[in-house]
A = this chain, B = another copy of it.
Amino acid sequence: MIRIKDIAKLANVSTATISYVLNDSGSVSLETRNKVLKVVADLNYKPNNIAKSLKLKKTNTIGVIVEDITVFNSPEIVDGINDYANTENQSIILTNMRLFKHTGQNFLYQPDSHVEYAQRAMKELMSKQVDGIIYVGIHTRELTNLFNNLQIPIVYTYCYANDQPDLSVNYDDEFGAYDATKYLIDRGHEKIALISGPIDSDPTRLRFNGYYKAIMEHQLIFEPNDIKTGNWEFDSGFTLAKELLQVAKPATAILAMNDLMASGAIHACAELGLSVPRDVSIIGFDNREFSGHLTPALTTMDLPLHELGTQSMSTLLALINKDELPHNPIKPRCKLIERDSVASVSK
């Protein structure tokens, strides 16, 4: 391992000078500068950033706490974080809480072990002196008080903390559901059923708002019987779609609040001998990879995950540099992916 001191000796200058040329700081004559650079190249010198960080009290390293890297939303968000980090020369320390692997579907109801994992992760990152933290959730939900008296900037994404709303980066759930519903309405559907997530979930409420707004705005009839509450899983989509469809005058379209339930709905139609989209149109949410492989390929809302990552990173960097934060930042928008599960209604 070759040090600045070795360069200094060979180049016959002080270590200060080496540092100046390496960092383009101070003023160094062209001659000594070239001399130093030559020795640096000859010895294939690689700076030790750990020493630099200790001195400067800045690591240019961001801690990323991800609740579970194997859950579908995480890799794209991390990719966005990396994308932005590369342009800003920031490194990423990744801690993966493996929440879903540890607790399965129950992760929402295991606050104790959750807190323990989170604080362990935080402790590790603090000891590594990261300049800030991005916390990546696996479900949009309230996480205030997960960490007590933070001593370091943090931004949340795919989840949020009420005590720092400007530091939570999430996409526009309501607008996404509004758009999906409107897409159906534009194709002549007037009776649009909804398979929702659990009531105590934020995305459920927001997506319901979007749905309701589109229905009202187009003077359609809001029919409570066409709203069914599911649990995000395939089976609930399957069961609820059947209930929805086996009535006297069924809806002509179903908006499922995620792709898993939409898939259940598609399979329910197959079982009922109904053709999608000829007899009933189905639209999902999330644009999971599998959604394009369903039969028929599912029309669904794509989540702006990559953008969540870049926006988290830019927000965090602004925090770290004490730049002014945009006050009401625009929430990234979902994008409709048109495939084969929606048809116009024939009048």
The residues of A with any CB-CB pair to B shorter than 8 Å are 1, 46-51, 53-54, 57, 59, 61, 64, 68-70, 72, 74-76, 78-79, 82-83, 86, 91-96, 98, 101, 123-124, 126-129, 263, 270, 288-290, 292-295
Instruction: Give complex CA distance A288, B289 in Å.
Output: 9
Contact of A92 among B86, B95, B98, B129 (CB under 8 A): B95
Contact of A128 among B86, B91, B123 (CB under 8 A): B91
7 A-B pairs (CB sep. < 8 Å): A47-B127, A50-B50, A50-B53, A68-B79, A72-B289, A91-B128, A263-B293
* Sample of 12 more A-B contacts, CB < 8 Å, known A1-B57, A46-B123: A46-B126, A50-B53, A51-B54, A61-B128, A69-B82, A78-B94, A78-B96, A82-B95, A86-B98, A91-B124, A91-B128, A94-B94
What residues of B have a CB within 8 angstroms of the CB of A79 in the complex? 68-70, 96, 98, 101
- Find out whether the CB atom of B69 lies under 8 angstroms from the CB atom of A59: no
CB distance from A151 to the nearest CB of B (A): 8
What residues of B have a CB within 8 angstroms of the CB of A288 in the complex? 289
- Find out whether the CB atom of B289 lies under 8 angstroms from the CB atom of A127: no
- A101 closest partner in B (C-beta): B79
Which of A70, A98, A126, A293 has the most chain B CB atoms inside 10 A of its CB? A293
- Find out whether the CB atom of A93 lies under 8 angstroms from the CB atom of B95: no
- 4 pairs of A and B residues whose beta carbons are closest in the complex: A290-B290, A82-B96, A290-B293, A94-B94
What residues of B have a CB within 8 angstroms of the CB of A292 in the complex? 290
What residues of B have a CB within 8 angstroms of the CB of A70 in the complex? 75-76, 79
- Find out whether the CB atom of B293 lies under 8 angstroms from the CB atom of A128: no
